[in-house]
Structure 1
Amino acid sequence: MENSQKGFIPVMLTPFQDNGNIDFDALTRLTELYLEAGAKGLFANCLSSEMFELTDEERIQAIKHVVKVVDGAVPVVATGTFGGAIGKQADFVKKVNDTGTEAVILITSLLAGQDESDAVFNERVFQLLNLTSDVPVGFYECPVPYKRLLSHEQLKSFVETGRVIYHKDTSLNIEDIKNKLKATEGFKFGLYDAYMVHAVESLKAGSAGLSCIQGNYFPELIVWLCNYYDDPSVQAEVDRVQRFLIENMDVMHNVYPIVSKYFLQKRGLNISLFTRRAVGDFTATVTKEIETLYTNYNLLQKDLDLKVAI
């Protein structure tokens, strides 16, 4: 997971049965879909996975299942911090690492409260690193329970330990991303951008790739963008893809992840719309918007001659 290896890292969904249990058969097929689309890695047990609505046992079960299905084809990262005392969080980080992940992801907003200083946060990060031996880790600036962004100075100090190899950036600010990339240059480390409004600019600036919810609609399109973002022979197509992502940003975020599961249903994946998280009503209006997105994507996919898994 280095900057020289541009790639798409899906933020994985968790398929559920209609009774609310994890649907491991659908999780197998979803994992295969990401791989067939060309993903360079997988982010399991993340916000899109409804990680806060899973028990610790379910989190470990789901991560183990993904690692087993992947079978070494690509790296898997997964969240390992869910609040509480640092010692408790360190114990779960080690459990996640034992599943076979490439790195265990630390949620920035769960290592210090919203009213606590960066100094307190930094102290807890180093304490956690000391308690987790040589486990490779990464950061995710998750917006829940609140968004805590890292400065480039903070990120540099963590990456310099040699333990931090991954960062999912949600700053929504291309200048912040550029500063982080400059500060961590030369290390075995990859920054993956979640914000598709400046996807192309972020890739050109040196990010390792993209890690976005849009990949839970059309992963092969995000892979295509990672492959061709800087290819002058298809610049018009790159610009078109970037516009498509921007124009449909709100549609894909509304009532998510139900809407992405519905989109995947239309693609042919046997996945229930069940979600444990309260995300709003899947109304007729929302349904129509996703139907339009599906139609427009099919046109774009055909024009780009993209091969789709289902």
Structure 2
Amino acid sequence: MTVKVEGIIPVMLTPFTAQGGIDWQGYRALIEWYLANGAQALFAVCQSSEMQYLSIDERVSLARFTAETVKGRVPVVASGHVSASLAEQKRELGAMVDTGVDGLVLVTNRLAPEGGTDGVFRDNLAVLLDHLPSDMTLGLYECPAPFRRLLSDDELRYCADTGRFSLLKDVSCDLATVTRRVALTEGTPLAINNANAAIAWPALQAGASGFCGVFNNIHPDLYRWLADHGHEHPEFAEELAVFLVLAAQTEPMGYPKLAKRYHQRIGTIQSDHCRAIDFDIAERYWGVEPVLDRILQGTTLYRDKVAALKPLA
């Protein structure tokens, strides 16, 4: 049976020690922070986890640790789908099957080369579907690295019709595309979960199943409020959406190290060590620390505003 994976889904960070190994104590604290702040599922071993910089043993260990720590409180999905050859993809995805995660997420740019046709995509997907257990819930991720490969409408409907896919992390960053995809997958287990903060609120209104953007690493509870209660307070929802969009525009200032610096500030993790970003973000992006000050200030402000809202009778 396909596990339902929807709602506010953080793309999980991987905390490292100052020496560069995985900080398991910090990772446990981060998991609990996500759950306490509105996460309805967790996406481990993804690009935000720096999966391209992790060994296969590290990817498997992260997936297993996440599932064992969460203990069924919310669904856990994981990817780690980074290799170019199908043989290696079978090995890395096969290794994830027994970690206890609720689903495996396939990366669309691994299923066909840049410029590859629908036929190549389907042929490669068929190989992996035959290799993976038929009862394993699957997802799709239009990961932008090493290149963004958006699914065609035919590819999306093909995946939906298999009945094996529960989630598309949509990286189209286009409201019309999200709306069309919601309609295309209606009546199937495959739900469309938008990853772009700029359209997060209108995408939810258009039927997207949730939000899976990188700023779920900063204030997932505010996105959760928007999804659960935005329709009850439309004017405030628009105001909050503006703040969330503007805050998310800092992503190019060294994410995911940016998010790790944020979690250092609030005491979740001890180090901002990052394999994907090997420079000091404060040196390269001179205004990043004052920007983080304002994001913290704005997050507290809007949490207080949410708490002060009176429930509708």
2:146 corresponds to 1:161:
no
Q: Residues of 1 paired with 2:275 and 2:239: CA distance? A: 35
Alignment size in residue pairs: 302
Q: Residues of 2 paired with 1:28 and 1:133: CA distance? A: 29
Query: Partner of 2:162: helix, strand, or coil?
Result: coil
In structure 2, relative to structure 1, the CA distance for the partners of 1:127 and 1:6 (3 Å cut) is closer
Code of the aligned partner of 1:68: E
Deviation of 1:92 after TM superposition, in Å, equals: 2.2
Residue in 1 that maps onto 2:38: 38
Deviation of 1:270 after TM superposition, in Å, equals: 2.9
In structure 2, relative to structure 1, the CA distance for the partners of 1:250 and 1:280 (3 Å cut) is farther
Deviation of 1:178 after TM superposition, in Å, equals: 1.3
Quote the sequence identity (%). Answer: 31
| CA deviations over 1:154-199 (Å, ceiling 9, x no partner) | 1111111111111100000111111111111111222211011111
Q: Residues of 2 paired with 1:211 and 1:22: CA distance? A: 23
Q: Residues of 2 paired with 1:120 and 1:241: CA distance? A: 42
Code of the aligned partner of 2:265: K
Alpha carbons 1:217, 1:263 under 8 Å: kept: yes
Alpha carbons 1:151, 1:180 under 8 Å: kept: no
Q: TM-score, normalised by structure 2?
A: 0.91
Deviation of 1:208 after TM superposition, in Å, equals: 1.0
Q: Residues of 2 paired with 1:199 and 1:223: CA distance? A: 11
Deviation of 1:103 after TM superposition, in Å, equals: 1.3
Alpha carbons 1:203, 1:229 under 8 Å: kept: no
Code of the aligned partner of 1:212: G
Structure 1 gap segments, 5+ residues each: none
Q: Residues of 1 paired with 2:117 and 2:243: CA distance? A: 39
2:249 corresponds to 1:250:
yes
> Which moved further from structure 2: 272-281 or 23-32?
272-281
Residue in 1 that maps onto 2:139: 138
CA RMSD in angstroms comes to 1.7
| CA deviations over 1:125-150 (Å, ceiling 9, x no partner) | 12211222313211100000000000
Residue in 1 that maps onto 2:268: 269
Deviation of 1:6 after TM superposition, in Å, equals: 5.8
Q: Residues of 2 paired with 1:204 and 1:289: CA distance? A: 29
Q: Residues of 2 paired with 1:189 and 1:110: CA distance? A: 20
Query: Partner of 2:43: helix, strand, or coil?
Result: strand
Deviation of 1:96 after TM superposition, in Å, equals: 1.0
| CA deviations over 1:69-96 (Å, ceiling 9, x no partner) | 1001110000042223323312322221
Code of the aligned partner of 1:67: A
Q: Residues of 2 paired with 1:25 and 1:175: CA distance? A: 42
> Which moved further from structure 2: 111-120 or 10-19?
111-120
Q: Residues of 2 paired with 1:212 and 1:47: CA distance? A: 11
Deviation of 1:228 after TM superposition, in Å, equals: 1.3
In structure 2, relative to structure 1, the CA distance for the partners of 1:108 and 1:149 (3 Å cut) is same
What does residue range 110-189 of structure 1 map to in structure 2 within 5 Å? 110-134=110-134, 135-189=136-190
Q: Residues of 1 paired with 2:242 and 2:115: CA distance? A: 38
In structure 2, relative to structure 1, the CA distance for the partners of 1:62 and 1:289 (3 Å cut) is same
Alpha carbons 1:255, 1:279 under 8 Å: kept: no
Q: TM-score, normalised by structure 1?
A: 0.92
Structure 2 gap segments, 5+ residues each: 309-313
Alpha carbons 2:218, 2:262 under 8 Å: kept: yes
What does residue range 227-238 of structure 1 map to in structure 2 within 5 Å? 227-231=228-232, 234-238=233-237
Residue in 1 that maps onto 2:194: 193
Query: Partner of 2:48: helix, strand, or coil?
Result: helix
Alpha carbons 1:7, 1:209 under 8 Å: kept: yes
2:20 corresponds to 1:20:
yes
Residue in 2 that maps onto 1:293: 295
Query: Partner of 1:16: helix, strand, or coil?
Result: coil
Q: Residues of 2 paired with 1:301 and 1:253: CA distance? A: 25
Code of the aligned partner of 1:47: Q
Q: Residues of 1 paired with 2:181 and 2:79: CA distance? A: 21
Q: Residues of 2 paired with 1:6 and 1:89: CA distance? A: 25
Deviation of 1:241 after TM superposition, in Å, equals: 1.2
| CA deviations over 1:40-64 (Å, ceiling 9, x no partner) | 1000000100111100000011111
